[in-house]
Chains A and B, each alone.
Chain A
């Protein structure tokens, strides 16, 4: 935890983050917990979690992102069927193999049906850990949604306070909002840099830099991101003959880093994506000065958050938003890359396809699994797609 970030080069930072992301376990979080008594870890299931609440309660909110392709699922397969997505099983597997034993609480959300049942199954199998389930409003058009979500956040905070024995003030929550605003602001910058100059920042670099925030306190993550931004802005280079692609569908279960690299190597600049969508959930800062910080967080969720397959907002069309996003990022094409068996993501595709066809935007639809090892087939498919665009 004491590595001098400010002395590391961009490449060293990316390497550090990549190693942390690809190494099974949560060593840095566990080390943080050991540094002082009364510290606690909250594991947050994707997609979005109000991490400010756990941070304000003196906890380290750790992002759960599945088991990757270095974990064998040996126990959880008997609890969840073959047609259930991998991250549900790999999260339970992590519990069953002790990888989450240092976690004091696990937080699930109303994002999909398997995640909902996982909250119950996890609670039954690990009664010593606190399991909370946050209900996000599914009718963002109703005026009661914001107030309701604010009260839901307060309920969760009471639950966390019982766990940590710490009374949390509004100022504590405001301070956490402010900290995470800074982190999200730098991430927004990095995403803008990649969109404007994708030849200066590869997604295989950006992704681990962002995901590192799943594993360490936000203050630490902010240091790394700021230093990385310095390094990226100092880079020089020229664009290559590649297509500018927008990638969607991978907001929950995460593809292996090698798959992201394979897509880039197949001839794409990924100018926008929805990897780790929850870390970039808000389109603007959350009000860190609000009289009621719970309401401010809820308000941001309801009115200033990104479209996502697991967030239902009948005020807007997600397919239209996708087309607009492609236009804003000057994307030549869209890659729909859904996690296998992810019903919310798969449900988006028919409407995406209809809208993309109407907008004359080329697209390709593919599926992945977090435990994939071989990427040749998917790389070939994308290469063919890219060539069809470059040489048409």
Chain B
């Protein structure tokens, strides 16, 4: 018990592994000869790039790292000076501002892309973002067109799967052209196997918060673990991180230890975090002893906790299914309602917090309807607004007031219900 600290071994391991990853980016930028491909978080076929030894670069992760380190605003303003609107996604603006500032960040020098792999999973902004990067860098862009889930059943059609598979085959041809190597099927299977085991562990970690107290915060801690999940997935290092994380968190669960001294409220949270004010935002919940037991944002890259695993025996098809079906952003908005409902019931949460962000309309547009839906079902629901990258849209006092009032009212409601039962 004595060594069960909140900032445990896995936090140090994450820092170490991410530092190695960013060192690889810097080495590529400085001419190590390792080709780099930019790609997006949603879904994403990183396993295919691993099979070619192409280094994945995630502009979204870079943008959020800039925001967390309070470095995003000058880049956003530089992009606005170029003509980008205050209503354009601030991830894009921070990334483009950073690109024209020489690609130097406090964590790495970001390499020029050899390939711009736009995996269009859910978000139309992805297409514009990578189209603009292609214009600025002069590097080839490949748009992997992933049809949005739009069937009654909530699953892709056979046509959808075949369509994506054909495009993946063309992507393989392009990677072969870029690297001068043929696709090594064994390496692809190995990378998919590593992802499969990593995903299974991540799923087990997600299910640990079903118990009370939750052994970690499934929003503030989960979003931190997303960095190795995306940047290192399909590698032995990525698997090692999740083996360590599961062991440590399972131990905490067994010992009944959580991130707070007492767990008073269990809530589900929807929407990306306000990265420039992450600590401040977290404290607004911690002071109420409120723990997020599930979050939708932590499933943008994949929905492993609902049963998805990569299949090393059918690597390309499982990559296609991951892109099409098994990530939050390619699912329709009502499927997200169903996901939240599952969290509320199976993870035993009593409230929903919706963090609406101006930058991401795919995530946010229509969340008022979501609030209406859950409120009518008797779930206390709070909707607050800020941004995921632009620090100018975070009003600390107003946000604190709203969150305080919400938990006060949930507490009152719980007390009244307790008294009457």
Residue positions of A touching B, CB distance < 8 A: 77-81, 83-84, 88, 110-114, 116-121, 123-125, 132-133, 135, 137-139, 141-142, 144-145, 148, 151-152, 155, 310, 312, 314, 317, 319, 340-341, 343-344, 346-347, 349-351, 353-354, 365
Q: Is the Cβ of B167 less than 8 Å from the Cβ of A139?
A: yes
A–B Cβ pairs within 8 angstroms, 28 of them = A81-B364, A81-B365, A83-B358, A84-B366, A110-B148, A113-B123, A116-B148, A116-B333, A116-B362, A118-B365, A119-B332, A120-B332, A121-B333, A123-B334, A125-B369, A133-B148, A135-B150, A138-B127, A139-B167, A155-B157, A155-B159, A314-B141, A340-B87, A343-B125, A347-B125, A350-B79, A353-B83, A365-B83
Question: What is the bound-complex CA distance between A118 and B150, given in angstroms?
Answer: 13
Candidates B83, B159, B364, B366; contact of A120 at CB < 8 Å: B366
With both beta carbons as reference points, the residue of chain B lying nearest to A346 in the complex is identified as: B85
Candidates A84, A151, A317; contact of B135 at CB < 8 Å: A317
With both beta carbons as reference points, the residue of chain A lying nearest to B361 in the complex is identified as: A113
In the assembled complex, B134 has its CB within 8 A of some CB on chain A: yes
Residues on the B chain within 8 Å of A340, using CB: 87
Q: Is the Cβ of B365 less than 8 Å from the Cβ of A84?
A: yes
Residues on the A chain within 8 Å of B147, using CB: 135, 152
Question: What is the bound-complex CA distance between A354 and B358, given in angstroms?
Answer: 26
A391 to chain B, nearest CB (A): 26
Q: Is the Cβ of B134 less than 8 Å from the Cβ of A121?
A: no
Q: Is the Cβ of A114 less than 8 Å from the Cβ of B366?
A: yes
A332 to chain B, nearest CB (A): 21
Q: Is the Cβ of A78 less than 8 Å from the Cβ of B124?
A: no
Q: Is the Cβ of A148 less than 8 Å from the Cβ of B365?
A: no
Residues on the A chain within 8 Å of B366, using CB: 79-80, 84, 114, 117-118, 120-121
Q: Is the Cβ of B148 less than 8 Å from the Cβ of A148?
A: no
Candidates A79, A152, A155, A341; contact of B87 at CB < 8 Å: A341
Question: What is the bound-complex CA distance between A329 and B361, given in angstroms?
Answer: 35
Question: What is the bound-complex CA distance between A212 and B367, given in angstroms?
Answer: 34
Residues on the A chain within 8 Å of B364, using CB: 81
Question: What is the bound-complex CA distance between A119 and B332, given in angstroms?
Answer: 9
Chain A interface main SS type: helix
Q: 7 shortest A-B CB distances, which residue pairs? A: A120-B333, A350-B83, A113-B362, A114-B365, A346-B85, A139-B143, A117-B366
With both beta carbons as reference points, the residue of chain A lying nearest to B166 in the complex is identified as: A144
Q: Is the Cβ of A79 less than 8 Å from the Cβ of B368?
A: yes
Q: Is the Cβ of B362 less than 8 Å from the Cβ of A138?
A: no
- Size category of the B interface is 35 or more
Q: Is the Cβ of B362 less than 8 Å from the Cβ of A78?
A: no
With both beta carbons as reference points, the residue of chain B lying nearest to A345 in the complex is identified as: B85
Q: B129-185: which have CB < 8 Å to A?
A: 131-132, 134-135, 141-145, 147-148, 150, 157, 159, 163, 166-167, 170
Q: A120-B333, A123-B334, A347-B128 are in contact. Are A133 and B150 (CB under 8 A)?
A: yes
Q: Is the Cβ of B365 less than 8 Å from the Cβ of A120?
A: no
Q: Is the Cβ of A117 less than 8 Å from the Cβ of B131?
A: no
Question: What is the bound-complex CA distance between A125 and B334, given in angstroms?
Answer: 11
Residues on the A chain within 8 Å of B85, using CB: 346, 349
Residues on the B chain within 8 Å of A155, using CB: 157, 159
B367 to chain A, nearest CB (A): 7
B100 to chain A, nearest CB (A): 11
Residues on the A chain within 8 Å of B89, using CB: 343
In the assembled complex, B52 has its CB within 8 A of some CB on chain A: no
Q: Is the Cβ of A314 less than 8 Å from the Cβ of B361?
A: no
In the assembled complex, B255 has its CB within 8 A of some CB on chain A: no
Candidates B83, B127, B356, B373; contact of A81 at CB < 8 Å: B356
Q: A80-B366, A81-B364, A125-B369 are in contact. Are A135 and B148 (CB under 8 A)?
A: yes
Question: What is the bound-complex CA distance between A349 and B124, given in angstroms?
Answer: 16
Question: What is the bound-complex CA distance between A119 and B362, given in angstroms?
Answer: 12
With both beta carbons as reference points, the residue of chain B lying nearest to A142 in the complex is identified as: B167
Question: What is the bound-complex CA distance between A79 and B361, given in angstroms?
Answer: 13
Question: What is the bound-complex CA distance between A79 and B163, given in angstroms?
Answer: 34
Q: A83-B87, A314-B143, A350-B132 are in contact. Are A124 and B365 (CB under 8 A)?
A: no
Residues on the A chain within 8 Å of B385, using CB: 81
Q: Is the Cβ of B145 less than 8 Å from the Cβ of A137?
A: yes
Residues on the A chain within 8 Å of B141, using CB: 314
Q: Is the Cβ of B124 less than 8 Å from the Cβ of A112?
A: yes
Q: Is the Cβ of B127 less than 8 Å from the Cβ of A120?
A: no
Q: Is the Cβ of B333 less than 8 Å from the Cβ of A117?
A: yes
With both beta carbons as reference points, the residue of chain B lying nearest to A148 in the complex is identified as: B163
Q: Is the Cβ of A124 less than 8 Å from the Cβ of B369?
A: yes
Q: Is the Cβ of A312 less than 8 Å from the Cβ of B127?
A: yes
Question: What is the bound-complex CA distance between A112 and B150, given in angstroms?
Answer: 15
Q: Is the Cβ of B334 less than 8 Å from the Cβ of A124?
A: yes
B373 to chain A, nearest CB (A): 7
Q: Is the Cβ of B150 less than 8 Å from the Cβ of A117?
A: no
With both beta carbons as reference points, the residue of chain B lying nearest to A351 in the complex is identified as: B135
In the assembled complex, B82 has its CB within 8 A of some CB on chain A: yes
B37 to chain A, nearest CB (A): 16
Question: What is the bound-complex CA distance between A83 and B385, given in angstroms?
Answer: 11
Candidates B87, B142, B159; contact of A151 at CB < 8 Å: B159
Candidates A77, A79, A113, A310; contact of B372 at CB < 8 Å: A79
In the assembled complex, B91 has its CB within 8 A of some CB on chain A: no
Question: What is the bound-complex CA distance between A341 and B88, given in angstroms?
Answer: 8
Taking each of B148, B163, B373, which has the highest tally of chain A beta carbons within 10 Å of its own beta carbon?
B163
With both beta carbons as reference points, the residue of chain A lying nearest to B129 in the complex is identified as: A347
With both beta carbons as reference points, the residue of chain A lying nearest to B335 in the complex is identified as: A120
Q: Is the Cβ of A138 less than 8 Å from the Cβ of B365?
A: no
Question: What is the bound-complex CA distance between A77 and B134, given in angstroms?
Answer: 37
Q: B36-81: which have CB < 8 Å to A?
A: 79
With both beta carbons as reference points, the residue of chain A lying nearest to B364 in the complex is identified as: A81
Question: What is the bound-complex CA distance between A145 and B147, given in angstroms?
Answer: 11
Question: What is the bound-complex CA distance between A123 and B151, given in angstroms?
Answer: 12
Residues on the A chain within 8 Å of B82, using CB: 350, 353
With both beta carbons as reference points, the residue of chain A lying nearest to B367 in the complex is identified as: A81
Q: Is the Cβ of B170 less than 8 Å from the Cβ of A142?
A: yes
A110 to chain B, nearest CB (A): 6
A83 to chain B, nearest CB (A): 5
With both beta carbons as reference points, the residue of chain B lying nearest to A132 in the complex is identified as: B150
Q: Is the Cβ of B131 less than 8 Å from the Cβ of A312?
A: yes
With both beta carbons as reference points, the residue of chain B lying nearest to A134 in the complex is identified as: B150
In the assembled complex, B407 has its CB within 8 A of some CB on chain A: no
Given contacts A79-B372, A119-B150, A139-B142, 19 further A-B contacts (CB under 8 A): A113-B125, A113-B361, A116-B148, A116-B362, A117-B365, A117-B366, A118-B366, A119-B332, A135-B147, A148-B163, A151-B159, A155-B157, A314-B143, A343-B89, A343-B124, A344-B124, A346-B87, A349-B84, A349-B85
In the assembled complex, B216 has its CB within 8 A of some CB on chain A: no
Candidates A81, A145, A148, A344; contact of B128 at CB < 8 Å: A344
With both beta carbons as reference points, the residue of chain A lying nearest to B141 in the complex is identified as: A314
Question: What is the bound-complex CA distance between A78 and B367, given in angstroms?
Answer: 9
With both beta carbons as reference points, the residue of chain B lying nearest to A120 in the complex is identified as: B333
Residues on the B chain within 8 Å of A141, using CB: 143
Question: What is the bound-complex CA distance between A118 and B366, given in angstroms?
Answer: 7
B76 to chain A, nearest CB (A): 13
Question: What is the bound-complex CA distance between A23 and B364, given in angstroms?
Answer: 32
Question: What is the bound-complex CA distance between A127 and B281, given in angstroms?
Answer: 38
Question: What is the bound-complex CA distance between A344 and B124, given in angstroms?
Answer: 8
Residues on the A chain within 8 Å of B166, using CB: 142, 144
In the assembled complex, B275 has its CB within 8 A of some CB on chain A: no
Q: Is the Cβ of B159 less than 8 Å from the Cβ of A138?
A: no
